[in-house]
Amino acid sequence: MTRKLSIVVETYPIAGQFVISRGAKTEAVVVTATLIEDRGLGRGECVPYARYGECVEGVVAAIESVRDPLEAGADRAALQRLLPAGAPRNALDCALWDLEAKLSGVPAYATAGFEALSPLVTAYTISVGAPDEMRAAAAKAASRPLLKIKLAGEGDEARLAAVRAGAPESVLIVDANESWDEATLARRLAVCADFGVALVEQPLPAGRDEALARLAHPVPICADESVHDRASLAPLMGRYDAINIKLDKTGGLTEALALARAAQDMGFSIMAGCMVGTSLAMAPATLVGQKANFVDLDGPLLLARDRIPGLSYEGSTLAPPLSQLWG
């Protein structure tokens, strides 16, 4: 066996801008790892995320640090020992899943234990902004069945009212991205309940979310920044009702599927989420989506251009990936 590792940094412009409580971005910078063997190749994409101390250069260096064992034939099990959870391991883990599928002719979903993949209905993200801006964005997306609303703290009640006015029929998920505080938490959760919000993501900062165990949950609360892999699950008991599984946090599909099983065994609901990336990043996450109560895999819908071939979206319905893309 001859295996080679290729690492490429790519930039994809965002249509407009993507704005959350921590700031705005106008492009998605992704790192793509490709493992090439004599009879095929496998690809995986990750998004370096500053919130978790990642940068493009550091992610590339981390992938490069395991070049020798990867080119010598290290498999997914070995990779879990070589790198911690995070974006670098995600790119390599997904590349190994893809490579195995290409070499064996067995689809990744079958290796993961699925008989087939079903289409998924994904949330569509409304960036945080002034209420009138958010109402206009919601009205434009009002035909979509599920909207994810980014909030930022002060003024969120007006933002939420504006979105509900713009999209009166859509199911709403609220994502505060750690921007709320304990003093206002109960009031803001009550407002979300009044507007029929189905789920609230990460209202309090990770590591400072003890109040969630003391307050009633009129709306189910989902951990995002507070959960990465199975090791982070136990402290969430009694605080959260659901967890957002993102491959860039878990370090790949291997741990993501194990995390989903463990979380469901502990009584958590599942969201399959993503960073803003291309269809190559979303494709393996569609396997997690098969187990999810909520799916948020709209990354390609937020880009000005995507990979070719990419995933096929009909409105908010996401078709399973073609093998030419991944898996």
List 25, 140, 148, 150, catalytic entry: 150
102 is catalytic: no
Instruction: Judge whether 272 and 285 are in contact, CB under 8 Å.
Output: yes
Encoding tokens for residue 41?
A: 């190749």
Instruction: Judge whether 150 and 19 are in contact, CB under 8 Å.
Output: yes
b/e map of 227-253 (b: 16 or more CB within 10 Å)?
A: bbbbebbeebeebbbbbbbbbbbbbbb
Residue 327: name the closest of 176, 32, 174, 110 by CA.
110
150 is catalytic: yes
- For residues 78 and 28, what is the distance between their CA atoms, to the nearest angstrom? 29
Phi and psi torsions of 279, nearest 5°: -60, -30
List 4, 246, 249, 291, catalytic entry: 246
Residue 161: other Cβ atoms inside 10 A: 16
171-175 β-sheet, strand order:
124-126, 146-150, 171-175, 199-201, 221-223, 242-245, 269-272, 294-295
Contacts of 116 (CB under 8 A, 6+ apart): 109, 320
Encoding tokens for residue 18?
A: 């993507």
- For residues 177 and 232, what is the distance between their CA atoms, to the nearest angstrom? 18
Write out the catalytic residue numbers: 150, 246
